[in-house]
């Protein structure tokens, strides 16, 4: 009996170890979950969205490794992001901080924003006004937000917010993306700290390829935050069912 009990215990330990190892491999090399803490990518991503990020989309770097293990320099099995990808990366001047933005500029591109219009290599990106986004405020009021549908040179389309007309970020100089770097912006153009702002003032600047973690592919869960941890009777009402298993574009 003692031997049988000990064998059962060891089998349980082995099962737990295998499960942890499998989870670690999946998280390190296949898919890693992330959550959205800010509104900089609205309306594409909302606060309270939980995502699966594919780690294999761009290859692997030290920022892809668990605990930030510095096993190698550069990237292994590198693949180039496409314009329009929603990418997770480490902020260049804060290597412990994860950011998520949309890639709009590739190495060698010239990027500019004029009167809120994104310009890639001298050509304005087509921008179509669509129906306003209507949201209910906590006080019961209603706010209408201008929305635009943009189409990048490779045909990728997505929706952006315009919160404030004539903001500083609506007019920029020309950014020339260096080799091995990328330029990214939030879809919520007036509420995003991104590549338009240099690291010296708390911005992102150009993103080194090494800092890329992966591509955001799927929203697997979403909550509007109206239910607390100790309010189980509110949990189901807080779920945004329409966003579950939503493919990110």
Do 218 and 248 touch, CB atoms closer than 8 A?
Answer: yes
Q: Which runs of consecutive H residues, i.e. helices, occur in the chain?
A: 2-25, 232-238
Residues with active-site annotation: 40, 101
Do 178 and 210 touch, CB atoms closer than 8 A?
Answer: no
Do 44 and 187 touch, CB atoms closer than 8 A?
Answer: yes
CA-based nearest residue to 89, from 191, 182, 219, 228: 182
Tell me how far apart the alpha carbons of residues 48 and 36 are, in angstroms, rounded to a whole number.
6
Peptide bond preceding 43 in cis form (omega within 30 of 0): yes
Beta strands 157-162; 142-151: pairing state: antiparallel
Do 9 and 17 touch, CB atoms closer than 8 A?
Answer: no
User: Please, which residues have CB within 8 angstroms of residue 225's CB and are 6 or more apart in sequence?
Assistant: 47, 48, 238
Q: How far from 95 is each of 89, 111, 163, 192, CA to CA, in Å?
A: 9, 24, 30, 19
Tell me how far apart the alpha carbons of residues 225 and 83 are, in angstroms, rounded to a whole number.
32
């Amino acid at each position: 009996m003692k031997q049988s009990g000990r064998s059962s215990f060891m089998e349980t330990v082995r099962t737990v170890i295998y499960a942890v190892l499998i989870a670690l491999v999946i998280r390190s090399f296949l898919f890693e979950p992330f959550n959205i803490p800010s509104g900089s990518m609205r309306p594409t991503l909302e606060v309270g969205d939980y995502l699966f990020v594919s780690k294999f989309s761009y290859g692997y770097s030290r920022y892809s490794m668990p605990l930030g293990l510095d096993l190698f320099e550069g990237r292994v099995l590198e693949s180039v992001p496409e314009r329009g990808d929603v990418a997770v990366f480490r902020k260049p001047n804060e290597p412990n901080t994860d950011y998520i933005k949309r890639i709009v500029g590739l190495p060698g591109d010239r990027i500019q924003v004029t009167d809120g219009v994104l310009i890639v290599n001298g050509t304005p990106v087509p921008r179509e006004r669509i129906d306003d986004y209507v949201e209910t405020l906590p006080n019961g009021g209603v706010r209408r937000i201008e929305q635009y549908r943009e189409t990048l040179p490779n045909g990728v389309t997505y929706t952006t917010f315009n919160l404030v007309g004539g903001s500083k970020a609506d007019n920029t100089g020309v950014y020339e993306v260096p080799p091995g770097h990328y330029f990214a912006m939030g879809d919520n153009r007036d509420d995003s700290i991104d590549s338009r702002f240099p690291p010296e003032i708390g911005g992102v600047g150009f993103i080194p390829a090494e800092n890329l973690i992966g591509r955001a592919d799927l929203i697997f869960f979403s909550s509007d935050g109206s239910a607390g941890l100790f309010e189980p009777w509110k949990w189901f009402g807080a779920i945004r069912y329409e966003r579950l298993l939503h493919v990110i574009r």
